[in-house]
Amino acid sequence: MRERYWFRVWTDRVVDIVPPSLGDEKVRGVKDVRIERQSPLFAELAKRNQSTHAGILTAWGVKRSYTRSEIEAAKFFWLRVKRHVGAFGEDYGTTYDDSRACVRCGGRAVRVGRLRLPCRVLPKRADVAVSLAGELVTSVKFEHIWSAAGLTGLSFQDIEAPSGEACSSHRSPIFVGAPADISSVTDIRDNPLARLGVICPTCNREDVLGMAVVSHLTLKRTDALHNDAVATRQLVGLRQGSIRPTPLYIISRRAHSVLTDAGLVGADFEVAAIE
Ligand SMILES: [Zn+2]
C-alpha cells in the first residue's frame, strides 16, 4: 500500500519547516503539501500543528493505493461513499429516537421508521450516496445486483417522499447482521496532524472514536464478518445539528468483486485489514 497525504497549510505558519520549493501555493497564503507518512516532515508538521494556536491546517486528504496482489489478497474492503445527497432526512420527516443517543455527541440515535427524502434530491447516476446527515442510499440497480448475486447482510427499504410515495430510483439499505468492531490500532483523530483527543467525554472513545479515520482501517476479527456487508459498531464524526456520528461500511471480497464488475458509481474502496 502506498499512502500519500496532502495538507493545505497556512504558509506563514510553516515557513521555517516547509522549504519554498515544496508545495503548491494556488491561493495566496495557503500551500498544498503532498507527503508520505514516513517523511520526517510529517512528524514536524504534526508537532507544529499541535503547538500552534488554531493549528496550521485548513484541509487535508489521503490517497491510498494498492497493488494488484494486495487487492487480490484482501478479504474485506471499506466502502467509502463519495457521492452526496444535498439534503438532511430530518428536514423531510425522518425521525430519530434520541433517547438512547449520547447527549453530547449524538451517537447511537436510532432511526424510527422510513428514511424520508424528496425523490428529486437522489443522485440519478449514483448507485450509492450519503445524505448530509450521513444517511445511506443505494440505487435500485445496486439492490438488484446485490440480490442476484445472493449477497448477505443488507435488506432494502423504501425511501419515502414527503408526499408519502416511495422513490423509484433508490432504496434505503439496512444492515441486518451484527456489527463489526474497529481495532484500536486504527488511528482516528481530528486530522492526521492533531493530538489524540477524546471527542466525547461521555463516550470516552468506546463507541464514538473521533472525527476522522486518518490511517488505513483495521478491524477486529469477529463472527460478524461472515456477512457480505456490515456496519461498524463504533462511530466516527460529531453531532452538529442534523449531522451525526456514523458507522463505517465494510463489504466482503465477494461483494467487492460483484460491485466492481457492475461498475458501481458513487463510492470507492480501501482494503480493510483484520488484526
Ligand atoms: Zn458521546
**pLDDT, greater one: 17 or 205:** 17
User: Measured in angstroms, how far is the CA atom of residue 244 from the centroid of ligand 1?
Assistant: 11
Give residue 78's pLDDT.
Answer: 98
172 pLDDT more than 70: yes
58-88: buried (b, 16+ CB within 10 Å) or exposed (e) per residue?
A: eebebebebeeeebeebebbbbbbeeebebb
Residues 275 and 216: beta-carbon distance below 8 Å: no
Q: Give the separation between CA 134 and CA 85, rounded to whole angstroms.
A: 9
The pLDDT score that the predictor gives to residue 202 is: 79
For residue 46, count other CB atoms closer than 10 A to its CB: 16
Tens digits of per-residue pLDDT, 49-105? Answer: 999 988 999 999 999 999 999 999 999 999 999 999 999 999 999 999 988 888 777
* Strands 24-27, 30-36: pairing kind: antiparallel
pLDDT score, position 182 = 94
Distance of alpha carbon 101 from alpha carbon 172, whole angstroms: 21
* Stretch 33-42: mean pLDDT: 93
Query: Per residue in 3-26, is it b (16+ CB within 10 Å) or e — as a string?
Result: eebbbbbbbebbeeebeeeebeee
Tell how far the Cα of 199 is from the centroid of ligand 1, in angstroms. Answer: 8
Look at residue 6 and tell me whether its pLDDT is greater than 70: yes
The pLDDT score that the predictor gives to residue 205 is: 64
Phi, then psi, of 96 in degrees rounded to 5: -120, 140
Cell numbers representing residue 127 in the block:
448507485
The lowest-confidence range among 5-14, 130-139, 146-155, 188-197 is 188-197
What percent of the chain clears pLDDT 90, i.e. is strictly above it? 76
Quote the ligand 1 centre to 198 CA distance (angstroms).
Answer: 10
* Per-residue model confidence as pLDDT tens digits over 104-132: 777 888 899 999 999 999 999 999 999 99
> What distance in angstroms lies between residue 49's CA and the mean position of ligand 1's atoms?
25
Tell me what pLDDT residue 102 has: 82
> Residues 180-213: pLDDT tens digits?
999 999 998 889 999 887 777 777 666 777 888 9
**Across 249-269, average pLDDT:** 97
Which of 56, 64, 33 lies closest to 194 in space, CA to CA? Answer: 56
Mean pLDDT of 266-272: 96
* CA 210 to ligand 1 centroid distance, Å: 10
Higher pLDDT, 263 or 211: 263
Q: What is the pLDDT of residues 218-250, one digit of tens each?
A: 999 998 899 999 999 988 887 788 888 899 999
Residue 110 has a pLDDT of 87
At residue 177, the pLDDT reads: 95
CA 197 to centroid of ligand 1, rounded, Å:
13
pLDDT tens digit sequence for 137-148:
999 999 999 999
Q: Give me ligand 1 centre to Cα 241, in Å.
A: 14
CA of 236 to the centre of ligand 1 (A): 11
